Amino acid sequence: MRLIVVSNREPYRVEPSRGKVRLEKTVGGLVSALEPVLREYGGTWVCWGRKGKGPEELRINDRFLVKFVPLTSGDVSGYYYGFSNETLWPLCHMFLTKTHFNSSFWTAYRRVNRKFAKAVAEVYVPGSKILVNDYHLALVPQLLRDAGISDPIYLFWHIPFPPYFMMRFLPSRREILEGMLGSDVIGFHTQHYVENFLECVREILGAFSDNNTVYWNGRRIEVRAVPIGIDVERWERLAKDPKAVRYANNLRKRMGVEFIGVGVDRLDYTKGLEEKFRGIGRFFEKYPSFRGRVSFVQIAAPTRTKLEEYIDIKRRTDEIVGMIEGRFGEPGWVPIYYYYKNYPDERLVSLYMMADFALVTPIIDGLNLVSKEYVISKTDEDGVLIVSEFAGVSLQLREGAIIVNPFDEDEVAEAIYMALKMKRSERRERMRAMRIVVREKDIRWWVKEFLKDVSA
């Protein structure tokens, strides 16, 4: 069966090189899992053509086509920066005060979703499965139904899905839900998000639901909780690379401290960096004997740098880190190494390997793959994961991780202390339990489980 993947993000960056086109595979779990499937078995990837002057189609081999959807600057402004990231993103993450309702955003979102649906219809071959990804393209499933497509449509929503009391604020709530219900299967990371979605379709649309199934317009839609995994094989290869091992060992020696913590986040207000830094500051305040002995490395990857909210959070996190260093830092010792830049996975794996603990404290997160990357990178099975109870991944890794409320500075501080004082045997037992889960439910498991055939 042919697979048509639809996503905002492209699987390849197309770079001109000496008059030819050079392809650079983008990093991400979805691309790692599905690109080899499309190469081998055939299919099409429909995505945003970010390069305005680039090709509209790219033939990877005789079976695999990438079809780019060209967007105007107005499309990008209203659909991507506007409705997707200033309306849906904050609303779904429970930040109502950061949610901007703008009719022009909604107009652009509908226009772009129609463009994506038209592009899918142009490459559609009967007998295909169609996988639509994320909140950027919520209207596409029903648009495809309206175009006469009857083959299975799968929609996976990669971020949190809000409860009814939040969703009801969205003026276009009915259209979003009706668009999603054009699918045969809708997927979320956790059962909690499934329940939120079912509540919304009942309260807003008056739809009947029973046992994770919605009955709507004479159709039956399955709603599945299938947490996405990582490409375990790839991360294990990275962790075994002699260059990565050597870099990790050398970096640890250069830092010259007894304990090292690590955090890797996009610089987004949902990731809880301010709360994390306050918890670290509280730790040094409560346990002064660890000053000079513990350093924390935080990678903050830039994202959506054109939006005012993200400019503000950069300023605030800079200030908090500066205050902690000014209060606790000493000559020859830095409490927090803070890097505002993107790091390739080949460098991240070294940071994970050298770290005694990882601190992952989002205010709310659909899942959080950094936690899984850290766990699978610890090939010696020695390390501690501290994770927010509001990250979807905490449900999968609760047998081994230390679970914290990121708003509780004292709890975060105590978790760091517990991680540093934990016996090696307990660290290994906890890490071993988490590694089993991450291995068993990797990205290939996710593809198989989510795209399994619809029940009769």
Q: Specify the fold of 3-228+444-450.
A: Rossmann fold (3.40.50)
Cα–Cα distances in angstroms (integers) from residue 27 to residues 76, 127, 250, 300, 449, in the given order: 22, 29, 26, 17, 22
Helix, strand, or coil (residue 123): helix
Look at residue 52 in the predicted model and tell me its pLDDT.
Answer: 53
pLDDT digits (tens, 9 = 90+) for 352-411: 999 999 999 999 999 999 999 999 999 999 999 999 999 999 999 999 999 999 999 999
pLDDT digits (tens, 9 = 90+) for 193-245: 999 999 999 999 999 999 999 999 999 999 999 999 999 999 999 999 999 99
pLDDT digits (tens, 9 = 90+) for 27-80: 666 787 788 788 888 899 999 976 555 568 888 888 899 999 999 999 999 999
pLDDT digits (tens, 9 = 90+) for 2-11: 899 999 988 8
Tokens of 255: 């830092």
Task: Name which CATH class applies to 232-440.
Answer: alpha beta
Look at residue 11 in the predicted model and tell me its pLDDT.
Answer: 86
> Which of 97, 391, 398, 374 shows the shortest CA–CA distance to 272?
391
Give the range among 90-99, 282-291, 351-360, 447-456 with minimum mean pLDDT.
447-456
Look at residue 19 in the predicted model and tell me its pLDDT.
Answer: 62
- Cβ–Cβ under 8 Å, residues 296 and 263: yes
Mean pLDDT estimate for the chain: 93
Separation between Cα atoms, residue 111 and residue 86, nearest integer Å: 17
What would the DSSP string read from start to end of 179-240?
HHTTSSEEEESSHHHHHHHHHHIIIII--EE-SSEEEETTEEEEEEE------HHHHHHHHH
Same fold, 3-228+444-450 and 232-440: yes
Separation between Cα atoms, residue 450 and residue 133, nearest integer Å: 12
> Which of 418, 286, 419 shows the shortest CA–CA distance to 356?
419
Which residue, chain included where needed, has tokens 């009814």? 164
What would the DSSP string read from start to end of 228-282?
----HHHHHHHHH-HHHHHHHHHHHHHHT-SEEEEEEEES-GGG-HHHHHHHHHH
Query: Where are the domains positioned within the chain?
Result: 3-228+444-450, 232-440
Separation between Cα atoms, residue 428 and residue 434, nearest integer Å: 10
- Cβ–Cβ under 8 Å, residues 30 and 51: no
